[in-house]
Amino acid sequence: MSEKMLLLTGEGKIPLLVYQKASLTDEVLVLSSSFLRPEEDLPVHFFCSSFSVSEIVHLARERGIRKVCLAGKVPKKVLFQGGFLAQEVEAASPSFADQVIIKKVMADFIHEGLEIVSPLAFLADYLTPPGVLTRRIPDSQEWSDVALGFRVARFLADEEIGQTVVVKRGTVLSLEGAEGTDEAIRRGLALGHGGVVVKVARSDQDFFVDVPTIGLQTVELLVRFGGRVLAVESGKTLFLDRDEALAQAEAHSLSIVGIEK
């Protein structure tokens, strides 16, 4: 017997993939915000003007929904636009750090008797495997830059700053902040053509919402700006459009590596 699940969707492809997989067994109702731009192919059943926990709980009870999944990216700039966060959430959040807001919202949902489902329950097949995934293997200098980038990126992630670092020849060229991964890659590789891009998860990543992700767009960005290596944490990073992304990487001698730590 199928159950009902409410999918609270942000931006990007992940909500669509979750919807497609979850819909095979459950009835999935999708809710997004008028502040966001969900994927065109994703059927959005409800739009909310603000992210109000009480309104979402009311909708769930009205529709007989017991499970909630939060998936997709909410750009930092949206959090600073008045009206996206309902007063109940904003007043209870001492900061706009991802984990502060996420944990507050999840605690409220659980308190109201809703089950929180991780996107990884539907996306395990997309996790990046360990090892070098391309024919080109990083050279010794690039491996050294990967190691440095991993240490710095882990610090950034654990401090809720960002997840991505660009390094070249032992020099950190850019760090991800509120502007996001893509802009950090552009800035870093503009300074150092042939640099190494490293993206990691937090030490205590819970994967209920904020799952580190790369895909074809990431690879195309590295190719366009002259990146030589893309290194991500294996088993903790989703790799979307993998076949197309790897083909693009092979065509431009870009190394892609799943790091085990």
Q: What is the DSSP letter of 130?
A: S
Residues 38 and 104 in one domain: yes
Among left, alpha and beta (phi > 0; psi -120 to 50; other), residue 160 is left
Q: What is the DSSP letter of 35?
A: T
Q: Closest by alpha carbon to 128, among 77, 199, 186, 76?
A: 199
Contacts of 204 by beta carbon, 8 Å cutoff, 6+ apart: 158
Residues 95 and 185 in one domain: no
Residues 141 and 205 in one domain: yes
d(CA 47, CA 63): 15
β-pairing verdict for 255-259 and 131-132: antiparallel
pLDDT tens, per residue, the chain with 261 residues: 568 999 988 888 999 999 999 999 989 999 888 778 888 899 999 888 777 788 888 888 999 999 999 888 877 676 666 556 655 555 555 555 666 677 777 888 888 889 999 898 899 999 999 999 999 999 999 999 999 999 999 999 998 888 999 999 999 999 998 888 999 999 999 998 999 999 999 887 766 666 889 999 999 999 999 999 999 999 999 999 999 999 999 999 999 999 987
Residues 135 and 255 in one domain: yes
Domain with residue 208: its CATH number is 3.40.140.80
Q: How far does Cα 99 stand from its chain's mean position?
A: 13
How much is the pLDDT for 51?
74
How much is the pLDDT for 52?
78
3-state secondary structure of 56: helix
Say if CB 116 and CB 110 are below 8 A apart.
Answer: yes
Where is the domain boundary, 123, 157, 178? 123
How much is the pLDDT for 105?
77
Residues 250 and 219 in one domain: yes
AA identity, residue 106: M
Where is the domain boundary, 123, 150, 183? 123
Residues 89 and 166 in one domain: no
pTM of the model: 0.83
Q: Which two tokens stand for residue 35?
A: 């502040």
Say if CB 209 and CB 234 are below 8 A apart.
Answer: no
Domain with residue 119: its CATH number is 3.40.50.20
Domain range holding 45? Answer: 4-123
Residues 134 and 236 in one domain: yes
Residues 97 and 138 in one domain: no
For 123, half-sphere exposure in the C-beta direction (CA atoms, 13 angstrom radius) is: 30
d(CA 197, CA 175): 10
Residue with tokens 């007063």: 87
Residues 235 and 195 in one domain: yes
Number of domains within the chain: 2
Residues 103 and 152 in one domain: no
How much is the pLDDT for 78?
67
Residues 251 and 155 in one domain: yes
Residues 132 and 167 in one domain: yes
Say if CB 173 and CB 185 are below 8 A apart.
Answer: no
Q: Which two tokens stand for residue 123?
A: 């996306």
How much is the pLDDT for 164?
96
Where is the domain boundary, 92, 123, 154? 123
